[in-house]
Each structure stands twice: as C-alpha cells, then as structure tokens.
Amino acid sequence: MTREIEASADIPVVQIATIVPIMLTVGANRIVPGIAIPHPVGAPDKGDEVDKAIRREVLERALKAIQTEIKEQTIFNK
C-alpha cells in the first residue's frame, strides 16, 4: 500500500515496522525498524523516561526518512 501511495499520489510514506523482512517483501520504500511487536514505537516496560526517549528517537528517524530522497528500498536504522 505504501508504494501505491507514493506512486499514484507522489506522497512520501514511511513504514515503522517490527518485522523488516516482511516490509521488504511487500515493497515498502522507507522502512524504520520498530522496537517490538506489541509496542513498535516504544518500550513502556522500561519506565516513562526511557519510553519517551525511545519514542522520540523512532519518530525522529521517521521524520528524517520522509524527507530523504531515495532510489530504492531503504532501511533507516539508528
């Protein structure tokens, strides 16, 4: 679906995903690895401060990814 949005509407899309190989298989262009399946953008079990820091870091990677020109599928790691 993300590739179709980018192709037809020319809108960049970022997929935050916990299982990156699946995103590669389905064709997501900009992939930000998530933290864990039940909490892809956080770690509530690590306390409020750590959870907030993790969420911020994932969001900042996603914002960087959406602004980056790409030619092929790209994984935006830390």
**Amino acid in the structure at residue 14:** V
CA distance 28 to 9: 15
Per-10-residue mean pLDDT of the chain, 78 residues long, equals: 79 94 94 94 94 96 96 93
Domain ranges of the chain: 2-75
pLDDT of residue 49: 96
The owner of tokens 């935006």 is: 76
